Structure 1
Amino acid sequence: MFCCLFVFTAGLAPRAMAADGIPNRGALFRIEQQAGEVRNVTWLFGTIHVGAKHFYPLEPRITAALDQASVLALEVDPLGSQEDIARAVREYGMYQNGRGPAAAELPASYRPRLDRLLRQYDVPPPSVAPMKPWMLASLLTVREFERQGYQTELAVEVWLSKGARARKQKIVELESVHSQMSLFGRMSTADQALFLQETIDAIDGSEQAGDARAIASAWASADQAALDGIADKTATDDTFSGRFVSRVLLDERNPLLADGIVKLLAREKLSVAAIGVLHLVGKNSVPELLRRKGLRVERVY
Structure 2
Amino acid sequence: MLRRLIIVFFVFLSWQPAEAAERGALFRLSAHGHTMFLFGTMHVGLPSFYPLEPQLAAAVESASVLALELDPQPSFAKVAAALNRYGKLAPGAAGYVQLGPRKLTRIDEMARAAGLDPATAHSYKPVLLATLLSLAEYEKQGYRASLSTDRELARMARARGVRIVELESLEGQLAMLDSLPVPSQWRFLEDCLNSISSGAQANEVRTVVGAWGRADQAGLEAMAQRMQLDNSVGGKFTREVLLDGRNGTLADKIDTLLKETDKAVSAIGVLHLLGPRSVPELLRARGVGVERVY
Interval containing the TM-score (normalised by the shorter chain)? over 0.9
Q: Does 2:289 correspond to 1:296? A: yes
* 1:130 Cα deviation after fit: 1.3
Aligned to 1:156: 149
Query: Please, which runs of 5 or more residues in structure 2 have no aligned partner?
Result: none
Q: Normalised by the size of structure 2, how large is the TM-score?
A: 0.93
In the superposition, relative to structure 1, how do residues 105 and 243 fare at CA in structure 2: closer, same or farther (>3 Å)?
farther
In the superposition, relative to structure 1, how do residues 84 and 121 fare at CA in structure 2: closer, same or farther (>3 Å)?
closer
* 1:184 Cα deviation after fit: 1.2
* 1:147 Cα deviation after fit: 0.6
Looking at structure 1, the residues matched to 145 and 251 of structure 2 have their Cα atoms a distance apart, in angstroms, of 25
Matched to 1:78, the amino acid is P
Query: Please, which runs of 5 or more residues in structure 1 have no aligned partner?
Result: 13-19
Secondary structure of 2:154's counterpart equals helix
* 1:109 Cα deviation after fit: 4.1
In the superposition, relative to structure 1, how do residues 8 and 261 fare at CA in structure 2: closer, same or farther (>3 Å)?
farther
**8 Å Cα contact 1:202-1:208 kept in structure 2:** yes
Secondary structure of 2:164's counterpart equals strand
Aligned to 1:17: none
**8 Å Cα contact 1:7-1:51 kept in structure 2:** no
Matched to 1:2, the amino acid is L
Q: Does 2:263 correspond to 1:242? A: no
In the superposition, relative to structure 1, how do residues 165 and 82 fare at CA in structure 2: closer, same or farther (>3 Å)?
farther
Q: Does 2:74 correspond to 1:72? A: no
RMSD (Å), alpha carbons = 1.9
* 1:185 Cα deviation after fit: 1.3
Looking at structure 1, the residues matched to 292 and 13 of structure 2 have their Cα atoms a distance apart, in angstroms, of 24
**8 Å Cα contact 1:106-1:197 kept in structure 2:** no
* 1:121 Cα deviation after fit: 2.6
**8 Å Cα contact 1:98-1:130 kept in structure 2:** no
Q: Normalised by the size of structure 1, how large is the TM-score?
A: 0.91
* 1:84 Cα deviation after fit: 2.1
**8 Å Cα contact 1:227-1:281 kept in structure 2:** yes
- Percent identity among equivalent residues? 41
Q: Does 2:88 correspond to 1:94? A: yes
Secondary structure of 2:151's counterpart equals helix
Secondary structure of 1:95's counterpart equals coil
**Matched pairs, number:** 289
Looking at structure 2, the residues matched to 112 and 269 of structure 1 have their Cα atoms a distance apart, in angstroms, of 55
* 1:11 Cα deviation after fit: 5.6
**8 Å Cα contact 1:49-1:156 kept in structure 2:** yes
